[in-house]
Structure 1
Amino acid sequence: MSQGHGRGRRRGRPDTRKTIVDAARSRFLEDGYHAVTLRSVAADADVDIALIGYYFGSKKGLFGAALALPANPAELLADLLRSGDHSDFPERAARTVLRAWDDPRTGPELLSLLRRAGVDGSLSVLLREVLEAEVIRPLGALLGGSDAPQRAASFSAIMTGLVTSRYLLRLDPIASMSTEDVVAHITPLLGQALRGPGRTRRPPAATV
């Protein structure tokens, strides 16, 4: 006679992914990005924590799914840092951001999220915490040096200003410039932000 399975945490079922996403969305908006753990989401969803890794890979992936992000800035940065020569990182970063926002499939959804953050305090705090934890800190750690956090934050500020001016405010001429023109103008600023004030060159090993 076969033994029945004991009652316990829910295993993978067709609705498991949605259950996890719903639980994560509530947790992120209520507690903020820093405080949320995969274990707390698993407990809320009544699933084994391994299923979160299976479906989403990481906290970054779970966040992107919970907010239905068509382009997750944390994952985009991770991909950029893993691939290519770090010496052309500013240009690749600019092109990646512009590509995501100019894409007719992902751009409108990103713009909608940005507009919602302007009127939803919880969402605004959540996005700020994600940028701090998953963009500014990793980039600062890669840069190194006592002023690395400031340089990473300056880089993020330029990117945020670009997105706000071009897509939210539709501020001309930046809104009507071609991708190539924007890249040509913004890349030197991003590079200088990463180097820091008054620095025109850095040793190749420390260049991003």
Structure 2
Amino acid sequence: MNYSRARGRRAGKPDTRAKILEVAQRRFLAGGYQGVKLRSVAAEAGVDLALISYYFGSKRGLVGEALALSANPADVLDRAVAKGDPTTFPQRVLAGLLALWEDPASGASLRALVAGAAHDPALANRVKEMVERELIDKIAAQLGGTDARKRASMFCSQIAGLIVTRYILCLEPACSMTHDEIIRQYAPLLHLALRSTTANARRPAPNTLSGNTTGR
């Protein structure tokens, strides 16, 4: 029986894909996006260069998947939606993202991703698509209403501003605030972003993220 995934392409051993990802992640964190050379990744992983294109399509695809091994903000969102009172959703998102960015492994991955996107417009577009699909669209689906996507986008914009201020530019006072201080300062802003300002928005379901369960 032939399990080949594509004509003329060697599928490699079952662990080949994982090995390529492991090497790419390590090299990306050490040298950034520009420092990842596909030939060197293939050589270290002990695979043919063509297998990188076979599995990932491009350098961009490889880097995107490699970083996802240790950092996935969408997982934080999923856990925040699944747990607890909807009125404390912003607090749970903030707590999860702060922990993710300050974990040595995942934080390094996320900072490297931001740096790579700054140098590569195509990678930046990939990140934008991921944020829209995995964060904004999911929050909008939970919110409901005619302006749900606008509110979800404003929510994510507020968080993006915090991330850049605290972890990329290291601006004070956000850079040195404790987690509790960040949550106290930013949670009310995020609650406001989730509230509908559209008069004709449909009444939200009881389990919405806006904290408004009365429809008023």
Distance 1:24 1:79, change over 3 A: farther
Match of 1:71 in 2: 71
2:177 counterpart of 1:177: yes
Match of 2:41 in 1: none
- In the TM superposition, what are the counterparts of 1:192-207 in structure 2 within 5 Å? 192-197=192-197, 205-207=206-208
Q: In 2, Cα distance between the equivalents of 1:79 and 1:140?
A: 16
- In the TM superposition, what are the counterparts of 1:1-208 in structure 2 within 5 Å? 5-6=1-2, 8-9=4-5, 13-18=14-19, 22=52, 23=54, 25-26=56-57, 29=60, 65-197=65-197, 205-208=206-209
Question: Does the aligned pair in 2 maintain the 1:151–1:195 contact within 8 Å?
Answer: yes
Distance 1:24 1:204, change over 3 A: same
**Residues matched between the structures, number:** 171
Unmatched 5+ stretches in structure 1: 31-61
CA RMSD of aligned residues (A): 3.0
Q: In 2, Cα distance between the equivalents of 1:140 and 1:157?
A: 14
Distance 1:28 1:195, change over 3 A: farther
Q: In 2, Cα distance between the equivalents of 1:83 and 1:63?
A: 31
Q: In 1, Cα distance between the equivalents of 2:132 and 2:59?
A: 15
Please state how far the C-alpha of 1:184 moved relative to its aligned partner.
0.5
Instruction: Give the structure-2-normalised TM-score.
Output: 0.68
Please state how far the C-alpha of 1:107 moved relative to its aligned partner.
1.5
Distance 1:116 1:20, change over 3 A: closer
Distance 1:207 1:28, change over 3 A: farther
Question: Does the aligned pair in 1 maintain the 2:142–2:208 contact within 8 Å?
Answer: no
Please state how far the C-alpha of 1:16 moved relative to its aligned partner.
4.4
Tell me the alpha carbon deviations over residues 89-137 of structure 1, each in whole angstroms, 9 at most, x when there is no partner: 1100011111111222321221121111111111100000000111101
| Identity across matched positions, percent | 35
Question: Does the aligned pair in 2 maintain the 1:77–1:135 contact within 8 Å?
Answer: yes
More moved, 146-155 vs 170-179: 170-179
Unmatched 5+ stretches in structure 2: 6-10, 23-51, 210-216
Question: Does the aligned pair in 2 maintain the 1:140–1:151 contact within 8 Å?
Answer: yes
Instruction: Give the structure-1-normalised TM-score.
Output: 0.70
